[in-house]
Structures are given as C-alpha cells and as structure tokens.
Amino acid sequence: MKVLYFAWMRERVGIAEEDVELPAGVGDVAGLIEWMKTRGGGFEGAFTEMTVVRTAVNQVHVDLSHPLANGDEVAFFPPVTGGAH
C-alpha cells in the first residue's frame, strides 16, 4: 500500500510518501489511523487532532469507515485551501 502525506501532515511525519504493508487486523481508514498513532514520533502528533485530518483512497475523498486493501493508494492531508478568497 502506498501512503502519501501533504502540507503540514507531510512536515509532521517527516516524509512525503512510503510503502506500508497493511497491518494485520486493519480493515479500514480508522484502523490505519489508530495504527499510525502507535508508530510514535511525528506520526502520533500528525494524527492527534482528527478534526483537521482528511483522507483519500485511490485519489477519491473518503470517510473513516472506508475499507482498505493492500494495493490501495492512501493519502492523508489537512482540509484543502485552494482557490481564491
């Protein structure tokens, strides 16, 4: 599974992307986030305030209950801020 991080989440975890084997027992986005928090370091801090964390799976916005499979591309990022004032 490819995992991508953007904006301040990328800065907090310290990497833009990584390959992760779907951890045993993790079947959805919420489960993956719980696993991320156990990794310590920047990961714990990046996933503390879940009201400002958004997820995409295979480049589509999803919610926490979205199922995951090993070939998925998962991205974590803050709420988007494009466009104009």
Distances (CA, A) of 63 to 13, 15, 20: 21, 23, 20
CB closer to other proteins, 35 vs 77 = 77
CB closer to other proteins, 23 vs 54 = 54
Per-residue contact flags (x/-) with other proteins for residues 42 to 61, judged by CB under 8 A: ----------x---x--xxx
71 touching other proteins, by CB under 8 A: no
CB closer to other proteins, 31 vs 78 = 78
